[in-house]
Structure 1
């Protein structure tokens, strides 16, 4: 395996101590963390997310080795590709399309996977190869197959894994189809946000095996980590969510950006106006507030966009994805929010009803919601699968 300098080992060890103190790095994953540093899989030029600046910044290992190493050993996400590889130069591109996830997220998901020595694992989304190398350390060489849709990303990861001696097979292909040649797997882990779970992942997992993936709705970019157990008959998989995350979306399921002007047309006479007593904080909460997740589960095929707050007001827009229905709620300091709606659906009415439902159920967090996947589709549920609805 690759040798590392004392400086690299020092920063990596400190990250491990912080993750362990936070309860993220479980003792059984500590050996893999110690032996498989993220730095061994990061490119020479990368774009870590600077928490203080609130943006991605370019850093070069050649130009700023200390800064590069500090970010490699920080609990921050690192973009490694922009715009599906069409980007060039050091400035960030338009859309981040491949990355190394925050170490805290990586180890939370690995803990959910409950992988053991000798388990056969399919990973969908190779990225840098770090996650696959951690899995190979735990399961043993030859037990991990990783599928990556981007040929250039797959080639870089394959090279990094080979140099490290990780013993992972990297397949360039569409992970949406899984990798039937290696099935059945004991575990499947997905490192891209998913909106509709392909049944191929369930079919390629043995009965009693686990599928762990970031899943969410069209409502927003946020995801919840779903931990699904495949049924004895192999005809379905179900399980609870374990907490919030946000991942780049599976390329086959990316949503095209909403074009506002295609929705909001015509004059005021075509819009229904009203007010609501629902407040901005109640509806939105923090970034990963469970009410956002719950509203997305109850209001299908709807995307919401939160605009910037200006002069004591914030508009939030809602767009129907199957027609041109739209709604806007304008939250204002010290006054009832104003609402406008147009189109076949009354989207604000649906959103407010979904929020009131969530509130009436006691404001459940992610961990009370679950997901069932079968060949016929997928259903979300609250507390138990018998309280489900299609999503």
Structure 2
């Protein structure tokens, strides 16, 4: 049983390999509790979602136990529109899971004298940790939410640091402090912002959670090349809140069916590929790298069966696959100019034929001039071909 204390959390993170010895002094110098508000919603150690709110003033021991556990702590809902201790609709700010925080900081490979840009100040914990490491004068952090920025500024300054703290859209970077040697993005992006790459020096490292339209996500570790592009591998799975400018809205399934009831004009077929096989985080990420503008949704039923819906962002095509537990075949309906389930099957077949590659074999090249993001397998000379 781990002790709910700074030393207990440090021991747990060191044993897991997330907290390396070179980051241990910063961990000890910058206590997490200084960057957690009185009211927060602790994440779960397994799975996703948040528990009930904890208020330090009412439950100080439980609050502290959550702070020094390896879990994320939600600190804002619905961009601040939600108030009170109940849960809102969507979490929009958190103090991230410590093991993920220090794994990403380790991947950043911060060296003395590095000029660092952070996109997404959040509660300010990362900004303070990096200020401890490189000095406040070398640290710049950008936060889009004015209230989050205000709270983070106070927390960071109360901890004794004075980095450059900007209220603005992190996708624009911050040219006034450029060029940067390291860039840390703390919200998931569907594309690496071009201004951020342009503001980075040749050889700079960019660490960012990258998400596909289909789903899944991974931490990308890119190095800026002399020609201005950025490339590198994915290094681990990741599930982060989206950068605000990278959020997407979804049309209802009814918008695809029109006035007709399902299955409307869908063409019927059967498949041996179970929706369960394509529902985990890694295969979803791979499918997202190989498809464009396709996203899933599961309509679940009380008997344990469900319908996997696939839709395209252009609202031209849809598909459904009915999953029945232990069934050898599954009924498929597809409609529109794109055969979305066929695309998913082809992506899965590619993944299988290449030995089910994990994150370490997959990577990304970004051209900031064209905005092109090219995923690859085992190196930039083996680009993935889009299926849709």
TM-score, length of structure 2 as denominator length: 0.94
Task: Write the mapping of 1:12-51 to structure 2, written as runs, cut at 5 A.
Answer: 12-51=6-45
Is 1:91 paired with 2:83?
Answer: no
Task: Write the mapping of 1:312-327 to structure 2, written as runs, cut at 5 A.
Answer: 312-327=304-319
8 Å CA contact 1:192, 1:248 repeated in 2: yes
Q: Tell me which residue corresponds to 2:180.
A: 185
Find the partner of 1:264 among 257, 262, 274: 257
Q: Tell me which residue corresponds to 1:6.
A: none
Cα displacement string for residues 118-157 of structure 1 (whole angstroms, at most 9, x for unaligned residues): 2110000000000111111111221110000011111110
Find the partner of 1:152 among 140, 147, 161: 147
Is 1:360 paired with 2:360?
Answer: no
Is 1:110 paired with 2:102?
Answer: no
Pick closer, same or farther for the CA change 1:23–1:309 going to 2, 3 Å.
farther
Name whichever of 97-106 and 43-52 sits farther off. 43-52
TM-score, length of structure 1 as denominator length: 0.93
Question: What is the alpha-carbon distance in structure 1 between the residues aligned to residue 264 and residue 188 of structure 2?
Answer: 39
Aligned-residue offset at 1:38: 1.0
Is the partner of 1:156 in helix, strand or coil?
Answer: helix
8 Å CA contact 2:275, 2:321 repeated in 1: no
Aligned-residue offset at 1:309: 5.7
Number of aligned residue pairs? 378
- Give the root-mean-square deviation of aligned CA atoms: 1.7
Question: What is the alpha-carbon distance in structure 2 between the residues aligned to residue 164 and residue 184 of structure 1?
Answer: 27
8 Å CA contact 2:255, 2:315 repeated in 1: no
Q: Tell me which residue corresponds to 1:4.
A: none
Aligned-residue offset at 1:279: 2.0
Task: Write the mapping of 1:175-254 to structure 2, written as runs, cut at 5 A.
Answer: 175-220=170-215, 222-233=216-227, 235-254=228-247
Aligned-residue offset at 1:229: 0.4
Aligned-residue offset at 1:312: 4.0
Question: What is the alpha-carbon distance in structure 2 between the residues aligned to residue 67 and residue 269 of structure 1?
Answer: 52
Question: What is the alpha-carbon distance in structure 1 between the residues aligned to residue 80 and residue 385 of structure 2?
Answer: 36
8 Å CA contact 1:133, 1:166 repeated in 2: yes
Question: What is the alpha-carbon distance in structure 2 between the residues aligned to residue 51 and residue 17 of structure 1?
Answer: 17
Aligned-residue offset at 1:390: 7.2
Cα displacement string for residues 10-66 of structure 1 (whole angstroms, at most 9, x for unaligned residues): 611101100111111111111111111111111111111144795332011101111
Unaligned stretches of 5+ in structure 1? 1-8
8 Å CA contact 1:50, 1:57 repeated in 2: no
Question: What is the alpha-carbon distance in structure 1 between the residues aligned to residue 176 and residue 22 of structure 2?
Answer: 30
Aligned-residue offset at 1:307: 3.5
Pick closer, same or farther for the CA change 1:389–1:43 going to 2, 3 Å.
same
8 Å CA contact 1:121, 1:186 repeated in 2: yes
8 Å CA contact 1:378, 1:390 repeated in 2: no
Unaligned stretches of 5+ in structure 2? none
Question: What is the alpha-carbon distance in structure 1 between the residues aligned to residue 157 and residue 30 of structure 2?
Answer: 13
